[in-house]
């Protein structure tokens, strides 16, 4: 039953992303089932992070790039986003049942093919694409935070001046990951905009 639901969610998610054409237009429609909300967030964020890590690995090791800050930035993106991917996979297996499996249909494909670009041209193209890529993730994380705030508000009650929220560790942990994405990627955008 869980496998069937998971497959249906992934198919629906792929269709929504295909139909809308962008990562940030994803709608978290099923707000009553918080596990579906968490699953949707993880299913779109891991492939998005994977794309950034894959491209950044090649950039950090490309000695034709003369600006060392670009290669250092790429290494930091690999480090930060690989760690966030590991956390999301742990949440998936601990709280959603089963191991996370990749779905290439949810990749944003903002990052280009850099085979024919070298040196400073490569660095500039990477920075331009990564700024767009980060902005997508920030929008999705902001949307997710608003949704979790709404869910938490619906599941809260106040007694004797004390507000009690009926939450779940998967919601709380992914909420913190989303806040971290907003914070770290906004800082990286500032750095990238200062480079070129």
String of DSSP letters for 6-21: HHHHHHHHHHHHHHH-
Asked whether 136 and 24 are in contact (CB, 8 A), the reply is yes
Tell me, what's the pLDDT at 26?
Answer: 45
pLDDT digits (tens, 9 = 90+) for 92-116: 999 988 889 876 554 556 677 788 8
Greater pLDDT, 180 or 96: 180
Asked whether 34 and 151 are in contact (CB, 8 A), the reply is yes
Tell me, what's the pLDDT at 114?
Answer: 85
String of DSSP letters for 121-135: HHHHHHHHHHHHHHH
Tokens 């237009």 belong to residue: 25
* Residue 32 pLDDT greater than 60, yes or no: no
Q: Which superfamily does CATH assign the domain made up of 46-96+118-155+163-196 to?
A: Ferritin, core subunit, four-helix bundle (1.20.1260.10)
Tokens 């709404």 belong to residue: 150
Query: Which range is least confidently modeled, 34-38, 117-121, 128-132, 133-137?
Result: 34-38
Give 32's DSSP letter: S
Q: Residues 56-67: what's their mean pLDDT? A: 95
CA distance 112 to 119: 15
Asked whether 37 and 10 are in contact (CB, 8 A), the reply is no
Asked whether 113 and 56 are in contact (CB, 8 A), the reply is no
Q: What angle do CA 3, 181, 109 make, to 5 degrees?
A: 65
Greater pLDDT, 111 or 62: 62
First to last CA, the chain: 51
CA distance 156 to 165: 4
| High-pLDDT (> 90) share of the chain, % | 60
| 55, HSE (Cβ side, Cα atoms, 13 Å) | 25
Give 98's DSSP letter: S
Domain residue spans of the chain: 46-96+118-155+163-196
Please report, to the nearest 10 degrees, the dihedral formed by the alpha carbons of residues 108, 111, 112, 113 taken in order: -100
Strand partners, 163: 158
CA distance 141 to 48: 12
């Amino acid at each position: 039953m869980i496998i069937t639901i998971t497959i249906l969610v992934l198919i629906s998610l792929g269709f929504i992303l295909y139909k809308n054409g962008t990562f940030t237009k994803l709608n978290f429609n099923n707000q009553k089932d918080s596990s579906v909300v968490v699953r949707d967030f993880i299913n779109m964020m891991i492939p998005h992070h994977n794309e950034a890590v894959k491209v950044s690995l090649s950039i950090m090791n490309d000695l034709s790039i003369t600006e060392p800050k670009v290669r250092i930035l790429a290494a930091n993106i690999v480090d930060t986003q690989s760690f966030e991917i590991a956390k999301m996979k742990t949440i998936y297996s601990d709280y959603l049942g089963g191991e996370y499996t990749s779905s290439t249909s949810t990749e944003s494909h903002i990052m280009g093919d850099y085979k024919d670009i070298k040196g400073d041209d490569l660095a500039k193209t990477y920075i331009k694409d990564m700024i767009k890529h980060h902005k997508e993730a920030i929008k999705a994380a902001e949307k997710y935070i608003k949704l979790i705030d709404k869910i938490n508000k619906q599941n809260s009650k106040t007694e004797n001046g004390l507000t009690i929220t009926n939450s779940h560790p998967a919601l709380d942990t992914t909420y913190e990951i989303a806040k971290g994405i907003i914070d770290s990627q906004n800082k990286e955008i500032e750095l990238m905009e200062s480079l070129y």
